[in-house]
Structure 1
């Protein structure tokens, strides 16, 4: 693929997803069909950090697309220790990391704890805007004039991370019970497979905020990349990995000319599609956790005026993402 070696990009950034580190022996996924490499995920993160630090054009920031440590840490009382281990590696370079929250963040920590933690990338004051509701983990930032990134909270409506006595928990339970009657809510229903406990959705407050952010970007003729843990395009992932109300989020994205790309994790095999109606690229990044120790799973994205060029490493496929 042509990576335009003679043209310097406006900026570059790194992206990695589903590290799910734990200091335990290798295991398997929920259905015991896929191997998971808990310890070696840390080495794969080190490989990514080394590549980014040695690149000719240093990344301006890193996108960490969620599930930074595995839920098994909770039952071993090792959540803080595992998080320290991974964040120590990520902080080995001075590059800003934007942390997305996935289901495994909530297996380890409550929402209130995450809002106070080092996984709240808003706390350093660099993001330029966020929803009025303080419990929604979403914000926007601009790494370069004319380009905006919007981080979304895919578990804003969810059973995960919420107190069982809270109104938010009751509302999420009402949503999931409309579609999933299984005793184990992590078991997908026969249809509408996405309505499981390990997924979530976007509240109206968050969707309205996103709509206003994108309206402003439209007026300024900016290029917007939206990032979250859960995919929202049915052709960009397995149906069991979609956000609960992916259709509502898609409708917002499709109503704005500024959106060029949506990036997510969660589905460890990765996937890609381009929205036929809008030309928006929907990229689901391959997960580190199911990547064998002799491979890799990360990417470096070079951004130009008319395109993004994704250089994939290991399992991640190279992609040329032209702007419409």
Structure 2
């Protein structure tokens, strides 16, 4: 498992890197939904869970050849079973870059006694957090906060999740699905404070979450409109990156690029991951495998 010591060591080594320091470029890797499990494929969904180990090894080899500040996985590192972490996390440890994680719904498809262990298994001090690199503040959200599966069985957030899901169904929302989630009020207040602090510090912001919020989609966060409404009022927010919808997606709204990265687990042998570069007024995404490349213009700071 990833230890705090290994993450800090990787961070120190990266201080000497060029991807985001002297030349104003920031480059980092993005992976979405490896969803590994030692299980037969789901042919209906086109998900080949066991194949993700070899795909991850190939992705690590490619990303290790790049000059990057970090590599982030946008959730669903595993598909099920806590033992799956023991197989895929050693591959992450072969990355020469700092490793960051976002929590996904399948990361909590575990026996109840393991649910509260998940952030620690991934070396995360908290389920949601932020960090700054080269003048960009990355705000990492936990869309599983209020859900039917991530909180322990007796946690009041489960009751709140059931109420929110019923409200979404009553409203006829296309994303009223039990596999989605939402932000708790404490996390939403933290997000508002983090965005304000970034603006005060003159930092631009990229938001990272497992769940999409735009465009409308069955996979979106239950409270997507609350989140997009907040982000629309933030002139320093550049982009929102997510996974969860394995088919990928894209929208531009209020000058913010909402990029849904493709799932690595899909198809027997075609992978999906990316290298992202932010420089000046450009957001460049170099896609590998099924991930498309994009060249996007950023709004003025």
TM-score grouping bracket, smaller chain normalisation: 0.7 to 0.9
1:206 equivalent in alignment to 2:182: no
Instruction: Please name the residue that 2:52 is paired with.
Output: 41
CA drift at 1:120: 4.0
CA drift at 1:23: 1.7
State the distance in 1 between where 2:193 and 2:226 align. Answer: 15
Map Cα deviations across residues 271-316 of structure 1 (whole Å, 9 max, x no partner): 11111xx2100000000111330x2200001221222211001111
State the distance in 2 between where 1:156 and 1:210 align. Answer: 13
The answer to whether the Cα contact below 8 Å between 2:215 and 2:251 also exists between their aligned partners in 1 is no
Instruction: Please name the residue that 1:4 is paired with.
Output: none
- Following TM superposition, where does structure 1 have runs of at least 4 consecutive aligned residues deviating by more than 3 angstroms? none
Question: In the alignment, which of 144, 147, 151 is matched to residue 155 of structure 1?
Answer: 144
1:174-185 matches, cutoff 5 A = 174-180=163-169
The answer to whether the Cα contact below 8 Å between 2:212 and 2:242 also exists between their aligned partners in 1 is yes
CA drift at 1:177: 2.5
State the distance in 2 between where 1:20 and 1:271 align. Answer: 19
1:129-278 matches, cutoff 5 A = 137-144=127-134, 146-180=135-169, 191-235=172-216, 239-275=217-253, 278=254
The answer to whether the Cα contact below 8 Å between 1:97 and 1:121 also exists between their aligned partners in 2 is no
What is the aligned residue count? 276
1:279 equivalent in alignment to 2:282: no
**Unmatched segments (≥5 aa) in structure 2:** 1-21
State the distance in 2 between where 1:107 and 1:299 align. Answer: 26
State the distance in 2 between where 1:8 and 1:45 align. Answer: 30
Instruction: Please name the residue that 1:317 is paired with.
Output: 292
Instruction: Please name the residue that 1:308 is paired with.
Output: 283
State the distance in 1 between where 2:132 and 2:232 align. Answer: 21
Instruction: Please name the residue that 2:265 is paired with.
Output: 289
Map Cα deviations across residues 147-203 of structure 1 (whole Å, 9 max, x no partner): 1101001011111122332221111112223344xxxxxxxx893131222100011
CA drift at 1:87: 0.7
CA drift at 1:9: 5.8
Give SS of 2:107's match: helix
The answer to whether the Cα contact below 8 Å between 1:291 and 1:297 also exists between their aligned partners in 2 is no
What TM-score does the superposition give when structure 1 sets the normalisation length?
0.80
Structure 1 residues 190 and 255: CA distance shift in structure 2, 3 A: closer
Instruction: Please name the residue that 1:121 is paired with.
Output: 124
Instruction: Please name the residue that 1:53 is paired with.
Output: 64
Structure 1 residues 8 and 161: CA distance shift in structure 2, 3 A: same
What TM-score does the superposition give when structure 2 sets the normalisation length?
0.86
Question: In the alignment, which of 22, 25, 28 is matched to residue 10 of structure 1?
Answer: 25
Map Cα deviations across residues 185-234 of structure 1 (whole Å, 9 max, x no partner): xxxx8931312221000112111111111112223332100000000112
Give SS of 1:309's match: strand
Map Cα deviations across residues 64-89 of structure 1 (whole Å, 9 max, x no partner): 00011112xx3xxxx22x21211100
